């Protein structure tokens, strides 16, 4: 019997409700042959806390479900552990805070075939719960991913969540994600940047969208502005990590960031004073600019790779 064509991968850490919702949405996919699918759940908790959830899900699964326990913390470790277990020629990434509509996977695979893409990305729609009122529009946009209105080949890349990757295009089919990004994230950006440099073909599929339901602890300016700062560090860090290091690029991004931080910081202060409804959007831009300027060692923020109590 031939192996699965697509492995759906869901990394998780202590989000049983989110994992269940994501997995059930994967089971409901239409327009694809269930005989060509498998689900791989990788549990990145110290103890195998997600195992009971996965065991219960197997009873409802229309295709094989594999459970992988990766106790070593870190988002790169989790993704690599999933790929080491997955057997599909294509890897579809779905996060444990995402929910996919029924046509999600079909839209990804159709775009891959149409454009002969190595990686296909789709939109993400942030969804805040009804009780969130303050800064709701900003928070939902922060956790969203937007792209072109039309499907097609693109010259940029996005994050792993809601993507389809052709396994043969990976630089290392089993451990493509850098352990250096376990604690700060951006392991997917680093991978896709390397693939782009090697000539990989990226595509965008607007019909392959998913919902994202952020954890309640993330629905605050304290969290999102810190993440915006970390996102801003990306371009400068990427230039510094190049081989050889792109020092001119680092200097250029730092200068751009300094200008953005100053301009948007002043504007955000003014909007805060008058209670402008779009204050959070402007503060976000200022934080991203500051991140481009303060990108090295002591300013690096850790959002991943933290051990949970067993």
Confidence class for position 181, pLDDT limits 50, 70, 90: low
* Statement: residue 91 has pLDDT above 70: yes
Query: In the predicted model, what is the mean pLDDT of residues 24-52?
Result: 97
Same domain, 24 and 138: yes
Confidence class for position 192, pLDDT limits 50, 70, 90: very high
* Statement: residue 170 has pLDDT above 50: yes
Query: In the predicted model, what is the mean pLDDT of residues 258-284?
Result: 97
Q: Which CATH number is 139's domain given?
A: 3.90.550.10
pLDDT of the residue at 303: 63
- Whether residue 49 is contained in a domain is answered as yes
Confidence class for position 306, pLDDT limits 50, 70, 90: very low
Decide which of 155, 188, 217 is a domain's last residue. 217
Q: Where does 86-125 have alpha helices with state H?
A: 104-115
Query: In the predicted model, what is the mean pLDDT of residues 69-86?
Result: 94
Rounded distance between C-alpha atoms, residue 299 and residue 275, angstroms:
30
pLDDT of the residue at 179: 81
Share of the chain above pLDDT 70, in %: 94
Here the tokens at position 75 are: 């988002």
- Whether residue 101 is contained in a domain is answered as yes
* Statement: residue 310 has pLDDT above 50: no
pLDDT of the residue at 3: 60
pLDDT of the residue at 2: 55
pLDDT of the residue at 148: 96
- Whether residue 152 is contained in a domain is answered as yes
pLDDT of the residue at 188: 87
Q: Largest Cα–Cα distance of the chain, in whole Å? A: 66
Q: Which residue has the higher pLDDT, 269 or 242?
A: 269
Residue 145 carries which DSSP code?
A: B
pLDDT of the residue at 27: 98
Same domain, 225 and 116: no
Q: Kindly report whether the global pTM for this prediction surpasses the value 0.75.
A: yes
Confidence class for position 282, pLDDT limits 50, 70, 90: very high
pLDDT digits (tens, 9 = 90+) for 9-22: 999 999 999 999 99
Query: In the predicted model, what is the mean pLDDT of residues 27-45?
Result: 97
Phi then psi dihedrals of residue 37, to 5 deg: -120, 155
* Statement: residue 309 has pLDDT above 50: no
User: Domain tally for the chain?
Assistant: 2
Same domain, 252 and 293: yes
Rounded distance between C-alpha atoms, residue 233 and residue 146, angstroms:
20
- Whether residue 208 is contained in a domain is answered as yes
Residue 247 domain boundaries: 221-299
* Statement: residue 150 has pLDDT above 90: yes
Rounded distance between C-alpha atoms, residue 122 and residue 223, angstroms:
24
Rounded distance between C-alpha atoms, residue 128 and residue 136, angstroms:
7
Rounded distance between C-alpha atoms, residue 40 and residue 35, angstroms:
15
Q: Which residue has the higher pLDDT, 3 or 115?
A: 115
Crossing angle between the packed helical segments 221-241 and 247-274, to the nearest 10 degrees: 160
- Whether residue 23 is contained in a domain is answered as yes
Decide which of 178, 193, 217 is a domain's last residue. 217
Q: Cis ω on the peptide bond leading into residue 154 (within 30° of 0)?
A: no
What sign does the CA torsion over 221, 223, 225, 228 have?
negative
pLDDT digits (tens, 9 = 90+) for 53-64: 999 999 999 999
Let me know how long the chain is: 310
Query: In the predicted model, what is the mean pLDDT of residues 212-241?
Result: 92
Same domain, 154 and 29: yes
**Chain centre distance of CA 282:** 23
Same domain, 121 and 240: no
Residue 220 carries which DSSP code?
A: S
* Statement: residue 250 has pLDDT above 90: yes
């Amino acid at each position: 019997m031939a192996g699965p064509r697509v492995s759906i991968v869901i990394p998780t850490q202590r989000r049983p409700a989110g994992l269940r919702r994501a997995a059930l949405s994967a089971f409901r996919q239409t327009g694809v042959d269930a005989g060509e699918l498998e689900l791989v759940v990788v549990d990145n908790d110290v103890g195998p806390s997600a195992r009971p959830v996965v065991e219960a899900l197997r009873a409802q699964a229309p295709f094989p479900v594999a459970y992988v326990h990766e106790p070593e913390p870190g988002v790169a470790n989790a993704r690599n552990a999933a790929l080491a277990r997955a057997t599909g020629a294509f890897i579809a990434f779905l996060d444990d805070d995402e929910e996919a509509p029924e046509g999600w996977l079909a839209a990804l695979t159709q775009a891959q075939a149409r454009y002969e893409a190595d990686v296909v990305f789709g939109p993400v729609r942030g969804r805040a719960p009804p009780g969130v009122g303050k800064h709701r529009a900003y928070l939902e946009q922060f956790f969203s991913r937007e792209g072109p209105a039309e499907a097609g080949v693109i010259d940029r890349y996005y994050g792993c969540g809601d993507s389809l990757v052709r396994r043969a295009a990976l630089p290392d089919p089993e451990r493509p994600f850098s352990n250096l990004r376990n604690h700060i994230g951006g392991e997917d950006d680093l991978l896709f940047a390397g693939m782009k440099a090697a000539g990989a073909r990226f595509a965008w599929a607007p019909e392959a969208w998913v919902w994202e339901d952020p954890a309640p602890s993330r629905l605050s300016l304290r969290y999102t502005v810190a993440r915006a700062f970390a996102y801003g560090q990306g371009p400068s860090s990427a230039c510094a990590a190049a081989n050889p290091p792109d020092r001119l690029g680092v200097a250029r991004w730092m200068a751009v960031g300094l200008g953005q931080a100053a301009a948007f910081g002043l504007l955000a202060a003014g909007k805060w004073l008058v209670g402008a409804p779009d204050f959070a959007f402007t503060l976000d831009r200022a934080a991203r600019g500051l991140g481009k300027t303060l990108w090295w060692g002591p300013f690096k923020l850790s959002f991943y790779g933290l051990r949970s109590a067993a």
